[in-house]
Amino acid sequence: MGKKVTHFEIIGKDGKKLQTFYSKLFDWPIDANNPLNYGQVDAHDSGLGGGIATGQPGEPSRVTIYIEVENLDEYLKKAEGLGGKTIMTPTDVPSGPRLAMFTDPEGHVVGLLQAGSMA
């Protein structure tokens, strides 16, 4: 069985506007009451959980899927061996999971989530 997609993320220039758009469009409950104003999409009624937020200065808008794996370093190395490029080394999110990110050979951003680290 293949690895499962466990999270999605929509990052743009105006996170608040995107949160309002997707909340109204799909009736998603979104909670951005946190220091980063990261809008957590409630997965209970919407299927797969996710987040909607403002990106860092200069960061392009993007939609990213996160795949759960047992070992982040191992999968980053495997992605690089297949022509990908690591863009975020394994990082612990405060009060959240352990993540890493890479781009595929065409530049698409893909996230990895450490199995067992999701709160």
Q: Is the pLDDT of residue 54 over 70?
A: yes
Radius of gyration for the alpha carbons in the chain, expressed in angstroms and rounded: 14
Q: Is the pLDDT of residue 46 over 60?
A: no
| Range with the poorest average pLDDT among 8-22, 38-52, 92-106 | 38-52
pTM of the prediction? 0.80
Please name which of 65, 114, 59 lies closest in space to residue 89, comparing C-alpha atoms: 114
Residue found under tokens 């680290």 = 117
Please tell us whether the domain made up of 5-114 is placed in CATH 3.10.180.10.
Answer: yes
**CA atoms of 103 and 106, how far apart (whole Å):** 7
Average pLDDT over residues 90-109: 92
Residue 43 has phi, psi (to 5 degrees) of -80, -10
